[in-house]
Amino acid sequence: KKLLLVSLFAAVAMVVTATASFAAPIVIKFSHVVAENTPKGQMANKFKQLVDERLAGKVVVEVFPNSQLFTDKKVLEAMLLGDVQIAAPSLSKFKKYTKSLQIFDLPFLFKNMDAVEKFQQGPYGQKLLRATEKKGLIGLGYLHNGLKQLSANSKLVVPADAARKKFRIMSSDVLAAQFEAVGALPIKKPFSEVFTLLQTKAIDGQENTWSNIYSKKFYEVQPYITESNHGVLDYLVVTSSEFWNGLPADIRTEVKKALDEAIAFGNKVAAEKAISDRQKIIDSGRCEVIELTDAQRQQWVDVMKPVWKKFEDQIGKEYIEAAVKAND
Ligand code: LMR
């Protein structure tokens, strides 16, 4: 009987060792909604490439672009259920998980992307990376896209031009208030539906970055783009605490390193595309890009900026002050 037990133990030990050495690789599904030729698309592909090179056989990254796997509304729920491991929704899409990230939607808060970077890397920005932790989501870093422009089926030069027009917005109450401030009608819709909504004229306009307007061909169905630079569209690269904390420490370190490098790469792409995709849109001759005079732009600032006050308590005054300082 003793002999039987010993051999049983030996058999079990053998199986355990065998499974360990032939363990299936850890799969990281990275789901996003934009095209591959965008800052986020390029960042995700770079992350996959680095992990393939460095963690072959141990970790496999699968990238799903263009809302193939999940919309941004679904992706964070799916993440908490373990159906996706990494995503990078825009900072405007976290209101179910935290109110503090709403700061990034405040109109005319940052004067350029250097100011955004400075705020994100400073103490307040770094604190905000942890804003969703209580809800089981860990912010691994910020990724840039860029400043937003206004596109429409008619010329928008002064705020009154936007009155009574329907604009698609991301699911953010700040963005809703921003459009209400000019008398427009904001409509929350997923990114995947924007082109069709514009094409069928179900909506009149939308706000987005040059790279999103270019890669999703919005400029082909919107005759006017006002170069307003009125807000920022950046991302939170996010994972679930359960997945992240469950990774073996050495793997987690390597994955984080690959992510940081991919983010740096994506940020470079973002800076380049803000210039080159804008130019491609102009060169297409499909739509007119409207540049505002200082006085015209000031009118938008005057009408939209009071929105800050409405969200000050939810966001925290000291955060807004720190963001304003980042412009210096
Ligand atoms: C949008 O919904 O307009 C953006 O969040 C899309 C994106 O991820 O850049």
Predicted TM-score of the model (pTM)? 0.93
> What does the pLDDT look like over 148-160, one tens digit per residue?
999 999 999 999 9
Pocket test for ligand 1, best of 31, 167, 170 (most atoms within 8 A of CB): 170
Instruction: Report the nearest atom of ligand 1 relative to the CA of 88.
Output: 8
Nearest CA to ligand 1 atom 2: 191
Buried b / exposed e across 1-36, counting CB within 10 Å, b at 16+? Answer: eeeeeeeeeeeeeeeeeeeeeeeeebebbbbbbbbe
For the CA of 38, the closest atom of ligand 1 is: 9
Counting as low any pLDDT under 70, the low residues of the chain are 1-22
Q: Ligand 1 pocket test: pick from 90, 92, 95, 174 the residue with the most ligand atoms within 8 Å of its Cβ.
A: 90
Asked if residues 235 and 33 have their Cβ atoms less than 8 Å apart, the reply is no
Tell how far the Cα of 236 is from the centroid of ligand 1, in angstroms: 12
CA of 104 to the centre of ligand 1 (A): 14
Structure tokens at 242: 């359960």
Token pair belonging to 325: 């300082």
Q: Using alpha carbons, select from 274, 272, 191, 189 the residue that is nearest to residue 227.
A: 274
CA of 327 relative to ligand 1 center, distance in Å? 24
- Out of 72, 196, 236, mutate this one to test ligand 1's pocket (max ligand atoms within 8 Å of CB): namely 72
Which of 33, 71, 93, 218 for a ligand 1 pocket mutation test, highest count of atoms within 8 Å of Cβ? 33
Q: What is the pLDDT of residue 138?
A: 98
In DSSP notation, 91-114 reads GGG-TTT-SGGGGGGSTT--SSHH
Give the pLDDT of residue 23.
84
Which residues have CB under 6 Å of ligand 1? 33-34, 40, 90, 145, 170, 191, 208, 212, 233
Instruction: Give the distance (Å) from ligand 1 centre to CA of residue 273.
Output: 15
Instruction: Say how many Å lie between the CA of residue 131 and the centre of ligand 1.
Output: 20
How far does the centroid of ligand 1 lie from the alpha carbon of residue 2, in Å? 65
User: What's the order of all strands across the beta sheet hosting 137-147?
Assistant: 59-64, 26-31, 86-87, 232-240, 137-147
Query: What number of residues does the chain have?
Result: 328
149: nearest Cα among 171, 167, 123 = 167
Q: Residue whose CA is closest, atom 1 of ligand 1?
A: 191
Model pLDDT, residue 6: 63
- What pLDDT is stored for residue 17 in this prediction? 52
Distances (CA, A) of 219 to 33, 206, 215: 18, 11, 9
